[in-house]
Structure 1
């Protein structure tokens, strides 16, 4: 599982997917979220603005990342 570092208290889910390189752009992030392809801590998440915090685990297309705070 890859770790992705954020510098702030939280990051929004759509922004995180772009930051982590899991999607190419915001449109692709929006598509995957609204289609129910993204899981946050094991639960399907359909809100683009969901706040993601340290130690959250995000999964898309079998790829998992863990959020760490730097």
Structure 2
């Protein structure tokens, strides 16, 4: 599991772009439809879903990430 330190709160779609998994925010909708993305063990389709401190995002064929916000680290 990779720990990702983020500077500020972000959505799932923003996270995918921030990590370089997708090229633009517009690709998030299609990526989430095509790949299994789990948020804390549950399938997530919403690109606008806000990520919370210590959330775990698992992306099929990519990896698992634990979210940590800098102000909480």
Root-mean-square deviation (CA, aligned residues, Å) is 1.6
Give the number of the structure whose alpha-carbon radius of gyration is greater.
Answer: 2
Residue 4 of structure 1: aligned partner: 4
Of Structure 1 and Structure 2, the greater strand share is in 1
Q: Answer yes or no: is the 8 Å Cα contact 1:56–1:66 preserved in 2.
A: yes
1:68 corresponds to 2:68: yes
Gaps of 5+ in 1: none
Separation of aligned partners in 2, 1:28 and 1:60: 15
When the two structures are superposed, what TM-score results if normalisation uses the length of structure 2? 0.78
The number of residues matched between the two structures is: 69
Q: Which runs of 4+ in 1 moved over 4 A?
A: none
Gaps of 5+ in 2: none
When the two structures are superposed, what TM-score results if normalisation uses the length of structure 1? 0.81
